[in-house]
Amino acid sequence: IYRVDNNSSEQTTKNLLKQNKLNHNRKMKMLLIILMQVFAVKAQDAGDFELGDYKGALIGDLVTRSNDVTGTLYALGPNLLYLENFNFDGANDFSFFYIGCRRASPEPSKEGLRLLHSKQDDLTPVETAVNQGLLIPFPFRKYVSLDHFAWFSLWDEQNEVSLADISIPEDFEEPRPYILSADAFTSEDARVNAVRIIMRTARNVTIQSFTFDGTGLDANFYAGTGDSLTATSGELVTVEEENDSTLGIYDRATLTLRLPEDLTLLDADWIIVTCPQCTTPFAQIELPDYRNLPADVQIF
């Protein structure tokens, strides 16, 4: 005769259910990590990003040491490099992109940090390339200025030699967002106001604490050049948060403006709030002659 302990049986069942739930959560977590890694690599694939004519700040051409390695290096913005027209014969199976901290190694060496690059993960060497464009992000959680580094290299880990490299000047200024002065936004109309204007990239502007009563007929943002501040002398600027074609009512809202494809903040002189019928704008933003903004990179 066997005595069944109901409490023990119930506890065993609960433990099994709990263990199954934990196993399920672990599997889902692992699947999520894998998907995130695949997405991260996919997002940086050379066919999955679009870069306009403006490429940020030029660092320079790689100095070829061997294996027919050539390319031109740009700083697109904080923590993001772009290698244009990259060529490599692929004969070396142990080559990776490295960047060297100025304090640790003033010249290319194994003391550098390995960088991820388009189409690859951190375990895959750089492959054969012909006039390829590669996005190269820094592997840091926090922003680290490029002037902390002395060099960039295609480094051969097996033979511990640089196949191609370039020095980064100590006074190099990487592209960064620019905050306009308080008087950059002006208006003679009490219905329109803003507190802060930030030039994020070559084609993106953030307006903080934007207020507008929306009574202007077909009012919108326009950007342009020259002295004529009218809708017809400028180009329509998209408000990314809006689906409507005209501005509505805003009370201390944060807006993200996106300039059209053929115009950047490096070219434009002004952004205005106006309507097609208006001869004078409700408000205007005078853009400075700042020419070191991050490039506009669209990653798909």
Provide the Cα torsion 230, 231, 233, 235; round to 10°: 140
Give 241's strand partners.
Answer: none
Write out the two tokens for 3.
């005595």
Mean local confidence (pLDDT), 136-162: 89
* CB distance 218 to 231 below 8 Å: no
| 227 CA to centre of own chain | 32
* pLDDT band, residue 12 (cuts 50/70/90): low
The more confident residue out of 18 and 184 is: 184
What are the tens digits of pLDDT across the range 242-280? Answer: 766 789 899 999 999 999 988 999 999 999 999 999 999
Length reported for the chain: 300
* CB distance 113 to 58 below 8 Å: no
The more confident residue out of 244 and 149 is: 149
Task: Determine the Cα–Cα distance for residues 51 and 299; give it in Å rounded to an integer.
Answer: 9
At residue 178, the pLDDT reads 96
